[in-house]
Each structure stands twice: as structure tokens, then as C-alpha cells.
Amino acid sequence: MAVYSIWNNKGGVGKSYLTFQIACEYARTNRDQKVLVIDMCPQANSSSMILGGMINGENALNAISSITPRMTIAGYIRERIASPYHNPGIGGRYPIQVATTNPNVPGNLYLVVGDEELELLTSRVSNATLPGPDDAWAKVHMWIRDIIYDISDSWNIDNLTVFIDCNPSFGIYTELALSASDRIIIPFSADGSSKRAVRAVLALLYGNARLPGAERSEYDRKSERYKLRVPRIYCYVGNRLTQANFGSARAFRTVVTEIGEEIYSTWRVTPGNFHIHPSGSPSPATKKTFREMFQFEVVDANSASVVSGALGIPIVSLTAGSHIVAGRSITVNQTQLDRQQPNICELVSTIE
């Protein structure tokens, strides 16, 4: 079992887009496995793409959310609010086989559907961490781990691969996702504030203080106290790096290099926070081998990515030519596909 969170507390860096592309490609290339996406973001962007995009995906989301009880992540969270410290073992009911709704995705891809209702439940989840048994915080932080085990038990398998799309904020749902994950994929974009975001993620997860005397996050302190797992960094994905409007190629490269240096310096100080892969590989000894293991770049695919998300067709299966999106014809060029398809294939080939 491998559980990946896709998270950066910076918004709009491609968490949901990459969750969609990575999960679909991983399912396509690992047909003998079941692949599960859990959408922990109330915006439900990855669910919308996975379920078929702007029209079909949104309609499916509305249909699923209008059934009572809701068979979405919010439905599960409601059940756990009612039974916070004892796992009722009902998680196996929640995943849906996506291909029954969106035939463009592989049949082995499953989804616990995102739901805007999560927002309404936030304070009730946070409150559940307070009273109750001594380890109330830890028990609540196991909820997502519980649903994953419920699902793998109900399928009677142990080689499940899970991708969790997170909300940008370091709120309770992100904490629950992280406590369920053993690996984290951190997308970032090529702007000045991404360097700060990269540091902020490390401070929140591992207590690497950004400023002298800075307080540790509650998540970091309590994960240590209750011996909960904290995911290790699987890779950083520089996403859409070419999209930023830099004045010159040199300025652009300077920012990307700066962020790369920041990540590398983290490795030098705390290599234990990184997940070595493929398993059995030696720890990287040089900056070059470090980059090969932990740093990826996914280019901007322009209108190809818009069509991919809007129609719920994974970029790797998208074809060049004109596509109808909301009644309008949009042309996808082969050159756009030729740029991003190999990125996604290569990134997914490193996921184990």
C-alpha cells in the first residue's frame, strides 16, 4: 500500500490537475492494481475532472451530492463525527468506479468523491479533536487512514495505491490527509513566492523553523507526541514553469534554480524527510543525483490541458485536433501534447 498526498499550501500550483493526470496515468500503466483517489478539497476540482470535466463531471458531482445519505467524502466525515473515536468500518461503501461515469479513464480507477459540504463540517471535525479520550486528536487524525484500510479490506487487497488531493490551507482536512499518507508530492510554480511556500511546507510538516524562535505547528508537535506518521517527500514537481511571464529566459531560470537550491539545502540538513526511490536505491550522493530522484518538471500544456480537464480526458490519452468544449470547438496541437505527455509518463514511471 502506498498513499500519496499532493499538497503545497500555496494555491493554484496544480495539485488537482496533477492528481487527475497522475492517478489516471498510474491506473493506465498498472492495470493489475486498484487505484484510489480521495478528494479532500471542498472545491472538488479533481473529482470534477476525474468524473468527466466541466459538464459531465459537474453533473455527476451534483447527482452524487444530491443523494441522501451522501456517498461522498463529506458523507464519510459525517459518519465519523457521529463516531469519532471508534471506527465503524463503513469506509468500503464510499469509492465509486469512475469508468462507469467517465469512460475516458481506466476501469481500475476509483474515487471517494469531493464535496463542498466539507466546509460546513470543518468546525465539527476540529471540535472532535478536543474533548473525549486523551488521544482524541490522534484518533480523529486516523479517519482518512481508517477509510483507506476499510476500502482495501472490503476489496481484500493490500497493494492499493492512493492519491489524495489536498486543500491548499493547512487546515484539519489537510492534516487528516497527511496523517494517512506515507509520501508527499509537492507541486510548485516558478514565481518568487514559491520559494517561501517550499519553506513553509517544511516548517509545517517537520518543524524546520523558518525564523528563529518560530512556534512548531500543532500537527508537527502532536504527530510526534502520538507517534503518528508524517509523510516523507517523494518529489517536488515544478509545474507549468514556462507559463510565468518572466522578462527573459535567464530571469526565469534564476527563480527555478533558486527554488532547486532551497530544496537541495533541505535535503542536506534533513535527508530523513525524503523518501528514497525506487526502493533499494542508494541515497543520492551528488546534487545531480538528488535532482534526478526528487525534482521533476511538468511544462504548461496550454489549451491541451484546458481540454483535458474540461472533458475529463487524461492528457496521455488526449488526441490532437478539434474538441468540443461547452459547445465550442477548441483545437489541441500535437506539439502541446508532445511536450506534456512525456512529462506525465516519466513522472508516473517513478511512482511505486
Give the amino acid at 20.
F
- Could you tell which of ligand ATP, Mg ion, none binds residue 239, using a CB distance below 5 to 8 A set by kind? ligand ATP
The residue among 137 and 234 lying less far from ligand ATP, judged by its C-beta, is 234
The residue among 16 and 65 lying less far from ligand ATP, judged by its C-beta, is 16
φ, ψ of residue 317 to 5 degrees: the values are -100, 0
Q: Per CB under 5 A, does 240 bind Mg ion?
A: no
H or E segment at 153? Answer: helix 143-155
CB 141 within 8 A of CB 179: yes
- Could you tell which of Mg ion, ligand ATP, none binds residue 309, using a CB distance below 5 to 8 A set by kind? ligand ATP
Query: Which residue is listed with cell 504527530?
Result: 223
Output the CA angle 143-162-116, nearest 5 degrees: 60
The residue among 79 and 175 lying less far from ligand ATP, judged by its C-beta, is 175
Q: Per CB under 6 A, does 15 bind ligand ATP?
A: yes
Q: How far apart are CA 52 and CA 65, in angstroms?
A: 16
Please pick, from the candidates 15, 139, 141, 275, the single residue that binds Mg ion as defined by CB under 5 A: 15
Q: How far apart are CA 193 and CA 295, in angstroms?
A: 18
Q: Smallest distance, Å, CB 339 to ligand ATP? A: 9
- Could you tell which of ligand ATP, Mg ion, none binds residue 13, using a CB distance below 5 to 8 A set by kind? ligand ATP
Please pick, from the candidates 5, 21, 45, 48, the single residue that binds Mg ion as defined by CB under 5 A: 45
Query: Which residue is listed with cell 526502493?
Result: 279
C-alpha distances out from residue 157 to 66, 107, 182, 256, Å: 31, 16, 18, 41
By CB under 5 A, the count of residues binding Mg ion is: 3
Q: Per CB under 6 A, does 14 bind ligand ATP?
A: yes
The residue among 167 and 266 lying less far from Mg ion, judged by its C-beta, is 167
- Could you tell which of ligand ATP, Mg ion, none binds residue 139, using a CB distance below 5 to 8 A set by kind? none
Q: Per CB under 5 A, does 10 bind Mg ion?
A: no
**DSSP labels, 73-114:** HHHHHHHHHHSSSS--S-GGGS-EEGGGT-TTS-TTEEEE--
Q: Per CB under 5 A, does 28 bind Mg ion?
A: no
- Could you tell which of Mg ion, ligand ATP, none binds residue 51, using a CB distance below 5 to 8 A set by kind? none
Q: Per CB under 6 A, does 239 bind ligand ATP?
A: yes
Q: Of 52-60, 125-133, 203-211, 299-307, which segment contacts ligand ATP by CB under 6 A?
A: 299-307
In the 8-state DSSP scheme, what is residue 274? B
SS3 297: strand
Q: Per CB under 6 A, does 5 bind ligand ATP?
A: no
Please pick, from the candidates 28, 240, 275, 323, the single residue that binds ligand ATP as defined by CB under 6 A: 240
In the 8-state DSSP scheme, what is residue 212? T
Q: Per CB under 6 A, does 45 bind ligand ATP?
A: yes
Q: Which of 138, 171, 146 is nearest to 42 (CA)?
A: 171
Q: Of 14-22, 133-141, 144-152, 216-224, which segment contacts Mg ion by CB under 5 A?
A: 14-22
Longest alpha-carbon distance in the chain:
60
